[in-house]
Structure 1
Amino acid sequence: MFGIIRPCSHRLAGPLKTEWMAHLCGLCLALRGANGQFSRVATNYDGLIVSVLVDAQSRRPGAADGRRRTAGPCPLRGMRSAPVAQGEGARLAASVSLVLASAKVRDHVTDGDGMLGRRPVAAVARRVASGWAEAGARTGAELGFDTAVLVDAVDRQQEAELAVAQGGSLLTVTEPTETATAAAFAHTAVLAGRPSNAGPLAEAGRLFGRLAHLLDAVEDLGADEEAGVWNPLSATGTDLAEARRLCDDAVHGVRLALREVDFVDGGLAHVLLAHELKRSVRRVFGSGTGGCAHLPGDGVPKEALLQHTPGQRPPGQSPWITRDPAGPPPPPLRRRGLLAGCAVWTGLCCTGQICCKDPYDDPWTGKAREGWCHKCDCCDCGCGDSCSCCECDGCCCDCG
């Protein structure tokens, strides 16, 4: 998985988490339907925003309108069935993801990155990229979306980079990405039958594309400078302070644009495009607290935790603490040997539990571990609230 939006299960509680996973799995299955099993590797967190936006403008919670179906067990869900998104939103997300993934592969082939620098591997990669581009264009055409705008943006990217000299405008480099994401976001309004939303969604998409490009440049800056590879920040002489200002402005602009959109149920879209974008900026620039800080009960004196009625949760105690602090210690964890632990690890890995289960038991120590897909930087907004900012009730955001 890749993308700048990476919510964790602690912030997306209850229905929001279910909806998020429905769109993620729906995108994955739509990619398979568009171009076969291997195309599922193009699944990415940012691409499913398109699917979320279509639903947010057209689907009411709990409505039986054919936009959900129950998918069978999947290793990436720990061999569990689940409701998944289907329909035009998921297919548009698949179309966009395939075209952009194709362009990314071709770009790596052109640069000769890693294994793609070898001719046999490069030839296979070009064939895969060509198949993805054709499948994406075909799916887009069925939905009335011309993927040529995406292809044109990718083609113009190199021209934009060559046109920028030291001291030039960083926004010249981000413009092709902005144009591509603006077109994808705007078409969600067409599919949802709300053409009046196309304008503000295009603006939100434009700023989302700018933010994605800038954050990618900041994350790659150190490695690019060390390897002597072109980076938009270095090429334009933009320092991190200015890049941060542009990112913060983009986040604020997305929030303002979302206020103009007529949503039927915009809860998940708001969380992802208002709160998670801000957290992404903090994560990349290193100003987030990281980890799951600010749990309920933090700062509560030990005496207050001990003075309570047995069987009841002490005042302020975290709901994740189920053992009486004054009671006996838990029994020691059972430890497995090397071979037994490896056997259990193989089983967890093959069933997708190490990736997606939250938590899973460590194969050797038995300790609770967080699945790779759930690694998070939650509760870094500084408001002291434990992941309840999603609905903006008493939240520290300025979205209103």
Structure 2
Amino acid sequence: MFGIVRPCSHHLGEGLKTQWMAHLCGLCLALRKDHGQFSRIVTNYDGLLISVLTEAQAERSTDWRRTAGPCPLRGMRTASVAQGEGARLAAAVSLVLASAKVRDHMADGDGLLARKPVAAAARRVALGWDRAGARAGAAVGFDTAVLVDAVDRQTGIEALAGPGTSLLTVTEPTETATAAAFAHTAHIAGRPGNAAPLAEAGRLFGRLAHLLDAVEDQAADAEAGAWNPLTATGTSLFEARRLADDALHGIRLALHDVEFTDKKLAHLLLAHELRRSVDRAFGSTTCSHAQSGPGGPQGFGPPPSGFGGPNPYGGNPQGGGAGNPYGGGSGNPYGGGAGGPVGPGGPGGFGGGPAPEQPKGRRGFWAGCGMFFVVCCTCQMCCAESYEGPWSRKKREGCCHNCDCNCNGCDCCCPCDGC
């Protein structure tokens, strides 16, 4: 629900951080104004990209910002927030996709949604969000039927997917939905020539969103016996990373063809912060382009099990040999041999070492909603260094926290004048 683009305040800087928060608050307030207080729970980081892209293309005017009243999530401070058709389109998209998320939880029987009375109530909420999203979309000339159709097709595609199915077949509905939403920002902003490159950027962004969600949830899905696209199609993490890198590169190329009025925030979020999201999902701290080193060709650790082809790490193809840093020799720092951290004496081995912490299970929809309000009302989402995701229970970073990240990180993958 929260999205994959979660920028650090150090990367944004004070000016862009203010703009980013203006769009986040603008989306939240657009939902409240048109659809009621409860609809604000569908506010998400990726949805505000629609508002950002619309404003980045539009000619500047005096009515693109307004001053919002005090809010507990801002420490009871007023703020300048985004308004207009971009925020309303972002609200429409967020409502429809949130409705899809609810139906997905219902289909999986997650948490309380396994109980028929709760599922019936959730179904009514989802249908209400569908109708509200359709009304909001129609008000800005956007037909949300393309989103609903994509969501409906997703279920059938997942049911038919199996080993050997292309992962891109599974991600296609998400790609189609985000492409339509991104392209419509060009029409709202009065730049129809931008529709084609923005559709391409949206298609690849949808692919990334689906991929990263699958990578982050794979271990928890395996434990819970839930469906996961990587597991179902037999796609390795190495191949998933390759697809993610290709999508990142394609998004940057597409953005170069878009005519912006002020591209700085849009470029930073979609070129640089999106790359950091990929690195975070794959446990990498390097640039996403290929490079050699102990971290493997992409810098995110040893190749996944089952990775075919010749062994690039030395030793025999089964992973043994002293020259193989990921094999079973005694010098292997990643496991297998005596003295290694996952061998005898290591965590989870026979020497009584501490077993690795098991991932926490996801919260059900309504339990997650309750925790969302707790996180919001205690300002953890904005100000905490980290907090537990209401639904996923994954560690999240507060968007205004003081981080210790490397804010002078490598930007060699995108040499451009948009920074």
Assess, with a 3 A threshold, how the Cα gap between structure 1 residues 277 and 143 changes in structure 2: closer, same or farther.
same
Matched, 1:30 2:33: no
Assess, with a 3 A threshold, how the Cα gap between structure 1 residues 240 and 359 changes in structure 2: closer, same or farther.
closer
2:397 & 2:101 partners in 1: Cα distance? 28
Q: 2:69 aligns with which of 68, 72, 82?
A: 72
Matched residue of 1:12: which SS?
Answer: helix
Cα deviation digits, residues 283-308 of structure 1 (max 9, x gap): 0000128xxxxxxxxxxxxxxxxxxx
Matched residue of 2:69: which SS?
Answer: strand
Cα deviation digits, residues 18-53 of structure 1 (max 9, x gap): 100000000001111221000000000000000000
TM-score (ref. length: structure 2): 0.72
Matched, 1:95 2:92: yes
2:44 & 2:94 partners in 1: Cα distance? 8
2:69 & 2:217 partners in 1: Cα distance? 38
2:89 & 2:415 partners in 1: Cα distance? 28
1:336 corresponds in structure 2 to none
1:386 & 1:243 partners in 2: Cα distance? 27
Q: Contact conserved, 1:54 with 1:189, CA < 8 A, in 2?
A: yes
Matched, 1:386 2:408: yes
Percent identity of equivalent pairs: 70
| Equivalent residues in 2 for 1:14-29, closer than 5 Å | 14-29=14-29
Q: Is the helix fraction higher in 1 or 2?
A: 1
| Equivalent residues in 2 for 1:211-230, closer than 5 Å | 211-230=208-227
Matched residue of 2:79: which SS?
Answer: strand
Could you list the runs of 5+ residues in structure 1 that have no partner in the other structure? 290-347, 361-369, 390-394
1:266 corresponds in structure 2 to 263
Alignment length (residue pairs):
320
Q: Contact conserved, 1:26 with 1:84, CA < 8 A, in 2?
A: yes
1:349 & 1:259 partners in 2: Cα distance? 38
TM-score (ref. length: structure 1): 0.76
Q: Contact conserved, 1:164 with 1:236, CA < 8 A, in 2?
A: yes
Q: Contact conserved, 1:54 with 1:191, CA < 8 A, in 2?
A: yes
2:377 & 2:112 partners in 1: Cα distance? 28
Assess, with a 3 A threshold, how the Cα gap between structure 1 residues 359 and 81 changes in structure 2: closer, same or farther.
farther
Q: Contact conserved, 2:70 with 2:76, CA < 8 A, in 1?
A: yes
Could you list the runs of 5+ residues in structure 2 that have no partner in the other structure? 287-373, 387-395
Question: Considering only aligned residues, what root-mean-square deviation do their CA atoms show, in Å?
Answer: 2.2
Q: Which amino acid aligns with 1:171?
A: L
Q: CA deviation at 1:93?
A: 0.1
1:46 corresponds in structure 2 to 46
2:242 & 2:201 partners in 1: Cα distance? 17
Matched residue of 1:261: which SS?
Answer: coil
1:234 & 1:74 partners in 2: Cα distance? 43
2:331 corresponds in structure 1 to none
Q: Which amino acid aligns with 1:231?
A: N
Q: Which amino acid aligns with 2:214?
A: A
Matched residue of 1:82: which SS?
Answer: strand
Higher relative contact order (CA 8 A, sep 6+): 1
Q: CA deviation at 1:351?
A: 6.2
Matched residue of 2:10: which SS?
Answer: coil
| Equivalent residues in 2 for 1:357-368, closer than 5 Å | 357=383
Q: Contact conserved, 2:58 with 2:261, CA < 8 A, in 1?
A: yes
Aligned structure 1 segments of 4 or more residues deviating by more than 6 angstroms: 348-351
Assess, with a 3 A threshold, how the Cα gap between structure 1 residues 92 and 376 changes in structure 2: closer, same or farther.
farther
2:398 corresponds in structure 1 to 372
Q: Contact conserved, 2:383 with 2:401, CA < 8 A, in 1?
A: no
